[in-house]
Amino acid sequence: MSSYVVTCYTHLSAQLSCKRLRNARCSEVRMMPVPRALSSSCGTCVRYEGEGDRRELLDVDAEALYEVMPDGSYRLLWRDETSI
């Protein structure tokens, strides 16, 4: 099972993504401050564990999805390209 971090444009988007991930029974789902290594518009992210990244559950205002690597670094899996 892998760990993931989702950054969002708004706090509401983080809350909605968190709720959807919990309802889908992903484990260790929690909201937390965005790690310093990552940036975010709202300063809040969602961290969770799951089999696969489950990006289909993320809110429409999600900004980016990262996999947490064993050494604690982050690997970008997806970024919202509409904001660029």
CATH code of the domain occupying 2-83? 3.30.70
How far is residue 72's CA from residue 19's CA, in Å, rounded to a whole number?
A: 25
Q: Give the CA distances from residue 14 to residues 29, 32, 36, in Å, rounded to whole numbers and listed in that order.
A: 11, 10, 17
Question: How high is the pLDDT of residue 83?
Answer: 60
Where are the chain's structural domains?
A: 2-83
- Residue stretches of the chain with pLDDT short of 50: none
